[in-house]
């Protein structure tokens, strides 16, 4: 064999070795979550978010409400992005594609219609349960404030971060370990658990604990979770969650 042929063989062997190492690295990055990781991530996020929501809604009408939620979800979202990048999934999950915004807007509009229907049936005056929805909007501050559109922007961002954390981190680690059905149901239940403090903090002495955010959180998490699973991407669900929450703030389903 000539020297040139030997060099070609050596180069081919090196390329094969590099390819094998790359494949091994990808396999390592794509390794599914262990039971311990799933428990720590899901339980940890739920505990942290429960504490953050309790603190936030203990300060109704204050910048601390959205500020504290934004800080906590910002940190958790940073870890979510890090995990997606480490596993080689960041681009596929978050890069917007044609139709993502349209799908998100359509789902958000449908959820807004459902919220309006529930309000008309359960919490519209003269029902005493109107106090529940009044408390929710009162916590967000003065709807006539000159800064309301800025607040609406913060609401959009916090909702987007919230979706990234719950469907991009919690639901994904649960799915890797327990399969899609159990993880889909469990992530919605945990999202509801995280909002349990609002039952007391936004409650009313006359009509009792306020179930609105817990019930809406569980029901809508099922929708956003299913959307993320159906598209196998986070962007459509992220748009749906953020646009819905922004819409409920900017176009209130209850007005004083």
- Cβ within 8 Å of residue 244, ≥6 positions away: 107, 108, 111, 112, 159, 220
Helical axes 235-250 vs 212-231, angle rounded to 10°: 150
Kindly compute the dihedral angle of the four CA atoms of residues 233, 237, 239, 245, in this order, to the nearest 10 degrees: -160
Same domain, 51 and 9: no
Same domain, 22 and 39: no
| Distance from C-alpha of 30 to C-alpha of 56, rounded to nearest angstrom | 36
| pLDDT < 70 stretches in the chain | 1-30
Q: Which domain holds residue 162?
A: 34-250
Same domain, 18 and 75: no
Output the pLDDT for position 239.
98
Same domain, 65 and 26: no
- What DSSP designation does 170 have? I
Residue 159 lies in a domain: yes
- Cβ within 8 Å of residue 61, ≥6 positions away: 138, 139, 140, 141, 142
| Distance from C-alpha of 153 to C-alpha of 173, rounded to nearest angstrom | 29
Same domain, 15 and 67: no
Residue 64 lies in a domain: yes
Same domain, 142 and 69: yes
Output the pLDDT for position 168.
98
Please name the helix (run of DSSP H) or strand (run of DSSP E) that holds residue 13, with its range, or none: helix 3-29
Same domain, 23 and 93: no
Tokens of 79: 């870890």
Residue 223 lies in a domain: yes
Residue 255 lies in a domain: no
- What pLDDT, in 10s, does the model give residues 130-187? 999 999 999 998 877 888 999 999 999 999 999 999 999 999 999 999 999 999 999 9
Residue 49 lies in a domain: yes
**Tokens 């569980």 sit on residue:** 218
Same domain, 166 and 214: yes
| Distance from C-alpha of 198 to C-alpha of 236, rounded to nearest angstrom | 27
Total domain count, the chain: 2
Judge contact between 233 and 95, C-beta under 8 A.
Answer: no
Reduced to 3 states, what is the DSSP secondary structure of residue 207?
Answer: coil
- What pLDDT, in 10s, does the model give residues 110-120? 999 999 999 99
Same domain, 123 and 178: yes
Reduced to 3 states, what is the DSSP secondary structure of residue 218?
Answer: helix
Residue 187 lies in a domain: yes
Same domain, 132 and 235: yes
Residue 256 lies in a domain: no
Same domain, 162 and 173: yes
Same domain, 3 and 75: no
Residue 124 lies in a domain: yes
| Distance from C-alpha of 85 to C-alpha of 91, rounded to nearest angstrom | 8
């Amino acid at each position: 064999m000539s020297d040139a042929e030997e060099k070609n063989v050596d180069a081919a062997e090196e390329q094969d070795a590099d390819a094998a190492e790359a494949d091994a690295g990808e396999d390592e990055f794509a390794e599914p979550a262990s039971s311990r990781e799933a428990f720590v991530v899901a339980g940890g996020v739920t505990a942290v978010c429960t504490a953050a929501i309790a603190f936030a809604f203990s300060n109704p009408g204050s910048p601390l409400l959205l500020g504290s939620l934004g800080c906590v979800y910002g940190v958790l979202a940073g870890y979510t992005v890090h995990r997606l990048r480490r596993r080689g999934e960041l681009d596929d999950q978050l890069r917007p594609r044609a139709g993502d915004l349209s799908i998100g807007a359509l789902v958000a509009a449908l959820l807004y219609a459902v919220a309006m229907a529930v309000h008309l049936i359960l919490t519209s005056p003269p029902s005493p349960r109107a106090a529940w929805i009044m408390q929710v909007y009162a916590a967000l501050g003065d709807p006539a404030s000159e800064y309301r559109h800025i607040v609406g922007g913060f609401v959009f961002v916090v909702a987007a971060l919230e979706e990234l954390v719950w469907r991009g981190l919690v639901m994904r680690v649960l799915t890797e370990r327990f399969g899609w059905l159990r993880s889909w149901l469990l992530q919605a239940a945990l999202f509801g658990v995280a909002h349990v403090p609002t039952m007391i903090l936004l409650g009313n002495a006359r009509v009792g604990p306020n179930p609105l955010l817990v019930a809406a959180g569980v029901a809508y998490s099922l929708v956003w979770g299913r959307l993320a699973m159906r598209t196998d991407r986070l962007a459509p669900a992220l748009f749906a969650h953020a646009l819905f929450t922004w819409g409920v703030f900017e176009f209130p389903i209850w007005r004083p």
